[in-house]
């Protein structure tokens, strides 16, 4: 009976997928795959569902520690994909074996973590999101795809669509911050950038929706940790970016490491089939995260690799990354009747279809032909410089910036001349020699003779005589630019922290420099928000430069010189202390909301030792000029469900500099079926105005954008009263109201 139920379940899954809506291009790909599958042995099908990472000895390692020769495995059709090969010649060699020496000549697909650039490294994703420039984010993905394809990569594991409000979690650097509306816009833009209009082009690569799902909400901010939330919260706040990426046409997805509703994602049928495929309409293939199939044993839901493989296949996970459980146990699972070969056919079919859509069957060697000549193109380097400048956020300024009439600049700190740190985590195929550091950028802009450099200290330790040298250097200058923060090894996977403050050696360096009497500008290099209240209070100005990428140095020089006016706005809240985390702007009221006039009053939802408010809120960012918002008008105060709310606001540049700002529109549903956030971002516009210029901005909100998850888990809008605010951050005070009926 158990075997019969297993087979019936497999048939039901396949039948359900067959009814999914597919394009003509997808239908053609599936027809091709179906014909090919009829020629394949069971082992060859399982081989297409297996991805490996070759080590330096050119072998792959199975779950039992057994090593297998790569070339033999390819010839036998036991490998569908390889991960993390960086040598274009090796990529080409392995592909040649696959298409010329295996029985059916099925090409390999080569994947790599191209997260924020390939050769040209753009600012880390969290930094890029602070530009609120959707077109630029799409363009950066397009450039990354073109360089990757030119070097032989077919597939990137990006974009990361995980919403997170916890800066302790190291992977916040890879995402778009805490807001689902903005995150959805960015996810879709990156899919378009990587995949373009023609997936078979030699300049595009396959994108991957990751990490499905809710990976950004681990308990205690600890990577790989348990995720536990209501389905209402999941659908409201975490699902929108994944949905947007699927709707934008992503052809692959990745299961997350965490469990969800008690089931690890790689074996979670509700996530990977019911939600991703049936509800969201995903028609590509799903790959596990690194070793995540076998890790179900450690999770305690599988006794061994064989049972882990069974659970993953039944959950509709197409490709096993690295651990080898599919190829090791797949044949036995079919022979024992625990998995039907028909299910294997379906899982393999979707992998083959993506390879077909990439054009690999027509020309397995078209990727990698352009090689290095397609990288570091001058126009793309200039774009990267502009993108880096737009990502930077001015957090404080007493008028010290921009630097005017300054003859000598002291550039000090551990990140002033550190190309590796500047490229951050997941730095693609970056070459340190091509990174233009802050020191190089400043010297180019202000002249070598005018930029005096001293390192002062390492990120987390002192340098003998370092502080003394830094002080002596500062005393020769008119102003100090001090690079503080956290380097690349404190950003990205497996870098979660309980302490996100400035390391002690850097604090001591700052204090010593302040004693010189020189004005101090902090250039904050980091991949996450930090608790920097003390440093902000002490410094004359603070510019959040992030890990700014290949052209970060010139971009910093552009900002501090005033050649570019800072325009970035935060997409992840900066807490006052770790004790406030998780902290985010779209919190709910609770039944006992804090009284702003009495922030520590008893029996309200507040702290006794700290304000509830953050150090810097979502959406925050200063400029060298000032923008005045006025005359907010709700042009459609009453609308029917299915209609659009129209809002206008006047903005004027009342300062002395030309500048760019981001107008942000927030909404609150006053009375709803479930508790709603105090504010939700529902529109934004990045605009530029010359000094003295004014403009009227127009916003339109479809009532469908005000939908939310109801008690019965339906997702829909409803009639009611709403408040709306427009301004420069999530604390905007310009207010209006409208009604949906």
Q: Which residues are part of the catalytic machinery?
A: 289
Residue 431, CA distances (Å) to 213, 306, 379, 417, 549 in order: 33, 41, 18, 15, 11
Long-range contacts of 497-501 (CB under 8 A, 24+ apart): 497/168, 497/170, 497/221, 498/168, 498/578, 499/578, 500/167, 500/168, 500/528, 500/529, 500/530, 500/531, 500/578, 501/530, 501/531, 501/532
Alpha carbon distance 536, 400 (integer Å): 14
Structural contact between residues 457 and 467, judged by C-beta atoms closer than 8 angstroms: yes
Q: How far apart are CA 19 and CA 665, in angstroms?
A: 39
Provide DSSP, 265-311.
Answer: GGG-HIIIIIIIIIIT---SEEE--TTTTTTHHHHTS-SSHHHHHHH
Q: Which of 527, 544, 531 is nearest to 580 (CA)?
A: 531
Using CA atoms, how far apart are residues 420 and 437, in angstroms rounded to an integer?
9
Buried b (16+ CB within 10 A) or exposed e, 604-626: eebeeeeebbbbbbbbbbbbbbb
> Hey, what are 375's tokens?
């990288």
How far is 141 from 186, CA to CA, in rounded Å? 11
Q: Which two tokens stand for residue 215?
A: 């990976």
Helices 24-37 and 341-357, axial angle in degrees (round to 10): 130
- As given in the structure block, the two tokens for residue 512 are 């010593």
DSSP helix/strand/coil, 324: coil
Half-sphere exposure of 175 (CA within 13 A, CB side): 33
Q: What distance in Å separates the CA atoms of residue 393 and residue 622, rounded to the nearest whole number?
A: 7
631 burial type by CB count under 10 A (0-12 exposed, 13-18 middle, 19+ buried)? exposed
- Ranges of beta strands (E only) in 306-375 are 320-321
CA distance 216 to 394: 26
Residues in the chain: 741
Cis peptide before 213 (omega within 30 of 0): yes
Contact 545, 525 (CB under 8 A): yes
Between 341-357 and 305-314, two packed helices, what is the crossing angle to 10 degrees? Answer: 70
Q: What is the DSSP string of 82-144?
A: EE----HHHHHHHHHHHHHHSSS-PPPEEEE--SSBSSSBPPPHHHHHTT--HHHHHHHHHHH
Q: What secondary structure, in 3-state letters, does 178-207 show?
A: CCHHHHHHHHHHHHHHHHCCCCCCCCCCEC
Give, in order, the Cα–Cα distances in Å from 87 to each of 83, 108, 129, 148: 12, 15, 31, 12
Please tell me whether residue 52 adopts helix, strand or coil conformation.
Answer: strand
Dihedral sign (CA 398, 403, 407, 408): positive
Structure tokens at 138: 């799409």
Task: Pull the structure tokens for residue 498.
Answer: 């309980």
DSSP per residue, 393-416 = EEEEESS-PSP-S---EEEESTTT
The pair phi, psi for residue 417, each rounded to 5°, is: -140, 55
Percentages helix, strand, coil for the chain (3-state, rounded to 5) are: 35, 20, 45
């Amino acid at each position: 009976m158990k075997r019969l139920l297993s087979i019936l379940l497999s048939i039901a899954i396949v039948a359900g997928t067959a009814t999914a809506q597919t394009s003509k291009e997808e239908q053609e790909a599936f027809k091709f795959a179906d014909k090919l599958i009829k020629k394949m042995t069971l082992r060859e099908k399982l081989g297409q569902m297996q991805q490996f990472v070759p080590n330096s000895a050119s072998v792959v390692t199975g779950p039992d520690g057994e090593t297998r020769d790569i070339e033999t495995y390819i010839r036998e059709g036991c490998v569908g994909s390889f991960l993390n090969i960086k040598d274009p010649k090796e990529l080409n060699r392995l592909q040649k074996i696959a298409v010329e020496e295996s029985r059916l000549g099925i090409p390999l697909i080569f994947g790599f973590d191209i997260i924020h650039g390939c050769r040209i490294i753009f600012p880390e994703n969290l930094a890029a999101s602070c530009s609120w420039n959707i077109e630029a984010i799409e363009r950066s993905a397009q450039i990354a795809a073109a360089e990757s394809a030119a070097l032989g990569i077919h597939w990137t594991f990006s974009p990361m669509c995980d919403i997170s409000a916890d800066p302790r979690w190291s992977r916040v650097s890879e995402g778009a911050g805490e807001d689902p509306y903005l995150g959805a816009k960015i996810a879709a833009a990156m899919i378009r950038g990587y995949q373009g209009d023609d997936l078979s082009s030699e300049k595009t690569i396959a994108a991957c929706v990751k990490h499905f799902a809710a990976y950004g909400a681990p308990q205690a901010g600890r990577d790989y940790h348990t995720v536990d939330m209501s389905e209402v919260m999941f659908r409201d706040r975490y699902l929108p970016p994944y949905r947007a990426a699927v709707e934008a046409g992503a052809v692959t997805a990745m299961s997350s490491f965490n469990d969800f509703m008690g089931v690890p994602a790689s074996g979670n049928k509700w996530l990977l089939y019911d939600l991703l495929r049936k509800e969201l309409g995903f028609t590509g293939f799903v790959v596990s995260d690194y070793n995540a199939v076998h890790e179900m044993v450690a999770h305690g839901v599988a006794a061994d690799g064989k049972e882990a493989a069974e659970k993953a296949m039944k959950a509709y996970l197409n490709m096993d990354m690295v651990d080898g459980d599919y190829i090791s146990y797949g044949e036995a699972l079919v022979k024992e009747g625990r998995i039907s070969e028909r299910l294997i056919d379906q899982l393999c079919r979707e992998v083959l279809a993506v390879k077909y859509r990439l054009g690999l069957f027509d020309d397995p060697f078209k990727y990698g032909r352009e090689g290095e000549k397609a990288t570091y193109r001058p126009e793309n380097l200039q774009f990267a410089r502009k993108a880096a400048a737009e990502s930077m956020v001015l957090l404080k300024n007493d008028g010290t910036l921009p630097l005017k009439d300054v003859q000598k600049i002291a550039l000090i700190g551990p990140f002033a001349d550190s190309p590796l740190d500047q490229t951050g985590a997941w730095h693609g195929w970056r070459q340190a020699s091509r990174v233009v550091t802050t020191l190089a950028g400043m010297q180019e802009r202000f002249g070598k003779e005018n930029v005096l450099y001293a390192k002062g200290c390492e990120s987390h330790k002192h340098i003998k005589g370092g502080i003394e040298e830094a002080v002596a250097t500062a005393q020769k200058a008119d102003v100090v630019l001090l690079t503080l923060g956290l380097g690349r090894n404190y950003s990205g996977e497996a870098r979660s922290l309980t302490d996100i403050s400035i390391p002690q050696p850097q604090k001591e360096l700052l204090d010593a420099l302040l004693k010189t009497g020189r004005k101090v500008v902090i250039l904050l290099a980091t991949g996450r928000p930090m608790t920097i209240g003390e440093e902000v209070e002490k410094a004359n100005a603070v510019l959040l430069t992030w890990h700014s990428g290949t052209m970060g140095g010139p971009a910093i020089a552009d900002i501090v010189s005033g050649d570019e006016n800072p325009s970035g706005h935060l997409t992840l809240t900066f807490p006052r202390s770790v004790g406030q985390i998780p902290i985010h702007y779209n919190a709910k009221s609770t039944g006992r909301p804090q009284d702003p006039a009495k922030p520590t009053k008893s029996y309200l939802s507040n702290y006794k030792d700290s304000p509830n408010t953050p150090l810097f809120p979502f959406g925050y960012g200063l400029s060298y000029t000032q923008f005045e918002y006025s005359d907010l008008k709700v042009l459609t105060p009453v609308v029917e469900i299915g209609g659009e709310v129209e809002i206008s606001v006047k903005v004027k540049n009342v300062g002395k500099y030309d500048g760019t700002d981001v107008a942000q529109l927030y909404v609150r549903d006053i009375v709803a079926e479930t508790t709603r956030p105090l504010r939700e971002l529902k529109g934004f516009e990045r605009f530029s105005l010359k000094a003295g210029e004014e403009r009227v901005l127009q916003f339109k909100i479809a009532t469908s954008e005000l939908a939310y998850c109801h008690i019965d888990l339906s997702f829909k809008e409803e009639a009611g009263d709403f408040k709306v605010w427009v301004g420069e951050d999530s604390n905007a005070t310009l207010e209006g109201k409208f009604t949906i009926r």
